[in-house]
Structure 1
Amino acid sequence: MNKNLMVFWLSACFVFGLDRVTKVWAERTLALGEKVPGIEGWYEWSLYYNPGAAGGIFSGHVEFLITVSALAVFSLVWFMKKGEHDSNAWLQIGLGLMLGGALGNLFDRVFYHHVIDFINPIGESYIFNIADKGIRWGLYLGLVGLWLSRRNLKRAAKKQVSSSERTLEQ
């Protein structure tokens, strides 16, 4: 394993582990459909088995959703192994969070044929889990990482051009 990608792998393991622990807690503690007070003013806990993707789209198409999830997992790992991202911590954390979230929901789809959701924002009609938040926040951090990489590449290119110009002047 590339030690320079440790942040990527640790981020993925953190989200996957936290997702599994909280889903086991939700299934052992909550009754299906029951609403239990959670974080006052923010969330309540409500166990829901989502047979589809976000908001229940593609319900009943488990094989399709497993395939899409597996492709996402393989793509994230390939992208990190193929590219030179070992110095970009923001990108590593972001893609690691996304990988952990994708693995968490893939685990549910493979073993249960649905995703376990239990976090219900008060006043909203959707329910989610830790894996979903890992994917969402990973996307945000990954975009920040890509933006910083692009900025650093432009800066490096300018330095190279200016040093080439100085060499030509001499």
Structure 2
Amino acid sequence: MTNPVPDVEAEGKRRTPLLLGVAAIAYALDLGSKLAVVAKLENHAPVKVLGDWLELRAMRNPGAAFGIGGATTILFTLIAVAIALVIIRMARKLYSGPWAIALGLLLGGALGNLTDRLFRSPGGLRGAVVDFIAVRDFSVMNLADWAISCGGALMVILAFRGRGLEGADREQPVAEAD
């Protein structure tokens, strides 16, 4: 029996527009939120969202997540550039919608933090990233970090499920005996 609903991935449709759309949305949300935080929250008291568990607190982070590597800002800039280039190169082989979403989140997040590193003080590949989502006893992050985290988690799930960039499951179905 054939499936009456067409499988877009099976038809061989490239998912590059989906990847770029997700990346653009993630990037725009990150950039817009950082502009708002710098304009309205920087040099002000934190805003409590969920009591002591979640607050909006503007801070500049020259390192990576959890404040790791503050003295190696240039390294994180180069890693973000490499990630963006690898994703753009992978887009030629991308036929999976879920992978397009995962890679789009990763690309949008990487570009969001890369923009800070290029254009925020002190500049010259050494800019500090604007972080503002403070989760109690965890970290202070931004929307780019959340996009990267969600994209990475989705990539792990897809890899464990055997989904490839080409849109098909990696495991071939076992032939049924007649």
What TM-score range do you get, normalising by the shorter chain?
Answer: 0.7 to 0.9
- Matching residue within 139, 145, 148 for 1:135: 148
Contact 1:90 1:144 in 2 (8 A): no
> 5 Å matches for 1:81-92?
81=92, 83=93, 85-86=94-95, 88-92=96-100
2:169 corresponds to: 152
Structure 1 spans left out of the alignment, 5+ residues? none
Query: Percent same amino acid at aligned positions?
Result: 26
1:53 Cα deviation (Å)? Answer: 0.9
> TM-score, with normalisation over the residues of structure 1?
0.81
2:133 corresponds to: 119
Give me the CA root mean square deviation.
2.3
Letter in 2 for 1:91: W
Q: Secondary structure at the match of 2:105?
A: helix
> 5 Å matches for 1:15-164?
15-32=26-43, 34-39=45-50, 42-81=53-92, 83=93, 85-86=94-95, 88-112=96-120, 113-121=127-135, 123-146=136-159, 147-149=161-163, 152-156=169-173, 158-159=174-175
**C-alpha distance in 2 between matches for 1:22 and 1:56:** 20
Instruction: Report runs of 4+ in structure 1 exceeding 3 Å deviation.
Output: 39-42
Letter in 1 for 2:60: Y
Q: Secondary structure at the match of 1:138?
A: helix
If each structure's helix is expressed as a fraction of its own residues, which one has the higher value? 1
1:148 Cα deviation (Å)? Answer: 4.3
Letter in 1 for 2:27: F
Q: Secondary structure at the match of 2:133?
A: strand
**C-alpha distance in 1 between matches for 2:144 and 2:172:** 35
1:60 Cα deviation (Å)? Answer: 2.7
1:7 Cα deviation (Å)? Answer: 1.1
**C-alpha distance in 2 between matches for 1:68 and 1:30:** 29
> TM-score, with normalisation over the residues of structure 2?
0.77
Letter in 2 for 1:8: L
Contact 1:34 1:46 in 2 (8 A): yes
Letter in 1 for 2:71: G
**C-alpha distance in 2 between matches for 1:92 and 1:10:** 9
Contact 1:91 1:144 in 2 (8 A): no
1:67 Cα deviation (Å)? Answer: 0.8
Structure 2 spans left out of the alignment, 5+ residues? 1-12, 121-126
Aligned residues: 156
Contact 2:132 2:142 in 1 (8 A): yes
Letter in 1 for 2:143: I
